[in-house]
Amino acid sequence: MIASMSSAERADPKELLDAAVAGMDGERRDGQHTLAEAVADAIEHEHHLVAEAPTGSGKSLAYLAPAVASGKKVVVATSTIALQSQLVGKDLPALAEHGGVPFTFALLKGRSNYVCRAKLRAAARPDALFETQVVSNFAKQLEALERFAGESKTGDRSEVDDAIADSSWAAVSCTAMECPGRTHCSDGDDCFAEHARDRARDVDILVVNHALYCAHLASHGAVLPEHDLVILDEAHAFADNATSAFGADLAPEVLVRLSETEDGRMRMATLADAMSHSRSRVTHTITRMEDADLVRRQPCVSDGRGVEALLTPEGHRKLVEAAPTHVRGVRKHLVDLASREDFAALGRIFNEVSDRLLKGMPEDADIR
């Protein structure tokens, strides 16, 4: 467990907020104080808080001041680069300079935002191959990136002065899926991404984006340092970002490639049968859940036509208990559609979810 300040040791969040605002030549705002008080209460009494405030109301300082004052290890996750820049370039420095409470902070990005030294060397080889077509002046851009890697302390793309094409950056950066890991890479001890993680490990306030925090959740806590508290700013975008992080895309070209071979056509037919059977099982499950008061139906909100099924609180609890392992399994099979996975496994996964959800439901429910 992470040690944190006792109640007596904690700073006053309102005093910290006022000091930072005054240091930035700002004015006291009642709404900002109200939000800061609500955040401080949520931290002290360890309960969730959902808050909304208009743009320009100073909400970032309103949650950062209580977070700093608490002495806890805090992760702040945002959706946009602009807000991340504001937090680490303006708000957190103001609190550090004027608040009178010593603390550390850092910005951590996904691995692909840092130059990969191994891929940089590979890209410079005469026989280098690239996943995407590089631009005509790639050689010139590569020279600029080599200079940058030699001079930069962070290897962060946002610090590159030259205009670099996305395809050029992809040629010299590494995704989490590509990376062999620190201990299995000859550049592991000199890796920009690993150094960024090292810097993030011991800071008090760590700023990340939604996608990186979702990766942390998907990895069961293996991506980010241990922390006591998470603040999701720009939370209206979190659902979409989470969908992108946990979902899988099935591109039309994958299906086209599969349909061009006899083996592919057979596997697609198997998939179609499995999904059709799973649809029946899901319909069966929803009906049984409705009879057990775990689901309620209402007119579809999006178009006013048809009916949609919504989980009740108890239904949501049961789904959360049943789903995680199977959702990961579905995602794996969807990502591996072009491989030799048994598509019938998709049907089995859905069926297992259904079986788990059906536990405790009335066996004599009317199945329509």
Q: What band does 45 get if pLDDT is binned at 50, 70 and 90?
A: very high
Predicted pLDDT at 95: 95
Is 200's pLDDT higher than 50?
yes
DSSP type of residue 224: S
Q: What does the angle CA 346 – CA 348 – CA 352 come to, to the nearest 5 degrees?
A: 120
Residue 132: closest CA among 169, 179, 107, 89: 169
Predicted pLDDT at 10: 66
Structure tokens at 229: 């508290």
Predicted pLDDT at 337: 45
Least confident of 41-50, 113-122, 165-174, 264-273: 264-273
Mean pLDDT for 133-154 is 92
Residues whose CB falls within 8 Å of the CB of residue 253, separated by 6 or more in sequence, listed in order: none
CA 218/CA 139 separation, integer angstroms: 37
Least confident of 128-132, 150-154, 156-160, 268-272: 268-272
Q: What band does 309 get if pLDDT is binned at 50, 70 and 90?
A: low
175, 279, 356 from 293: Cα distances, Å: 44, 21, 16
Residues whose CB falls within 8 Å of the CB of residue 168, separated by 6 or more in sequence, listed in order: 134, 135, 138, 141, 142, 145
Predicted pLDDT at 22: 93
Least confident of 85-94, 175-184, 287-296: 287-296
Mean pLDDT estimate for the chain: 80
Predicted pLDDT at 1: 31
Predicted pLDDT at 196: 93
Q: What band does 121 get if pLDDT is binned at 50, 70 and 90?
A: very high
CA 45/CA 22 separation, integer angstroms: 28
Q: How many CA atoms lie within 13 A of 11 on its CB side?
A: 21
Least confident of 285-299, 307-321, 329-343: 329-343
Is 44's pLDDT higher than 90?
yes
Predicted pLDDT at 177: 78
pTM for the structure as a whole: 0.66
Is 321's pLDDT higher than 90?
no
Give per-residue pLDDT as tens, 330-364: 545 444 544 444 444 555 555 555 555 555 544 44
Residue 87: closest CA among 203, 198, 193: 203
Q: What band does 115 get if pLDDT is binned at 50, 70 and 90?
A: very high
- Domain 13-104+202-244 grouped into CATH 3.10.20.90: no
Predicted pLDDT at 305: 60
Mean pLDDT for 10-14 is 84
Predicted pLDDT at 311: 73
CA trace torsion 119, 121, 125, 127 (10° rounding): -20
Q: What band does 227 get if pLDDT is binned at 50, 70 and 90?
A: very high
Residue with the larger pLDDT of the pair 58 and 269: 58
Q: What percent of the chain has pLDDT over 90?
A: 46
CA 156/CA 119 separation, integer angstroms: 15
- Domain ranges in the chain are 13-104+202-244, 111-193, 252-358
